[in-house]
Structure 1
């Protein structure tokens, strides 16, 4: 991607995404206490931004295996921490199920599949598709007969239908990578996913059915100047789970000791 003199760097774009993400999770953890709905609306811009930057990062990283391994470790760690926190601090009003690492991992696997197909490494391409397909099939098979087994299978390895955003968002990540040199096509892809996310129900777009607001991420992505910028690549891996569990515990404390 051509670098531009003006605009924002990848680090700055990620920081904007992180700020919007915090607003979103404040709404998630404190909606019952009156956290405004527009906090959650701001959060709809986050996932397209992170998928866009994942496509950039996957293209430029020196070791793609380590890149995906970090996401897998993050996925496992959050599953364990979520299990612990939700039982030590049980909350009826908040469901703790955040784990965007799974979405990012499957998206990068689809990116790897694209490269493998281009390089005619068909066995590797099939592997990238089959690995997440297995827990997807297991989830569907056991969903009605053994729900817990279905859940645990998708905790070992992320599946297409249980990750945040679902299959559609994973595909969006792959498309953003495939057309990373063609911004217009990337914007159209985000617009299409935003349209599909409405379920073609346009009656309450500003009162609950606001996933479509991801389309506004296009404005921020358009400002990206193609430069990485300075910053720690491990910051997100630490901040993302940390702020979620801090907010969750704060919500538990509020409901337990103050909301009575």
Structure 2
């Protein structure tokens, strides 16, 4: 298959389970991929898992740092040429706490990665994007709901949708599509850490709690979410922009 043949793609949060699953699919579809993540060691492991090769490179960066964002965009263009796909996927969770106890520093840190990170990625990548490209931002089912105590993560995920809608309108004349993807709980280490924290708050197993409120009765896999990212990244979604793609097992229905 060749859905992304000779396309240059940036994936932030590229060493995590979803970023890595997307990278595998993108490469299989003919793309050139720049993986961006905070930790150079996990990036090296991710590159090794992908088999190395000339179509994948890495750049360690703090996505909330404008200097770092400029650096990974420049590194991508130098290595592979102008950008066709920006998958803004980096994320962190924060904590769960009553509003009066919620740490302001944690709120700021989560907002910086999800919202400032996605904003800076677009700000610096768009001038180097080919017309007809695609921007995909990883939001969450949390970006469609509110839950007690999840102040930073849920607020940030809602804000990403607003950013997406502004970008979709502005970039439509260049045929650059901009969409958010909204996974439900995924079977990965990130979600497990969320569920372990939640268990302390609700006094029961967090994984079981989520499975009970997901109509399909289970967590999604990184590969399942990545297939939906590929749809938004490729020309298969050529008439889709400004959209929220729910990949949540029916949780938001």
TM-score (normalised: structure 1): 0.30
Higher strand proportion: 2
Q: Which has the larger radius of gyration?
A: 1
Higher helix proportion: 1
The structure with higher relative contact order (CA 8 Å, sep 6+) is 1
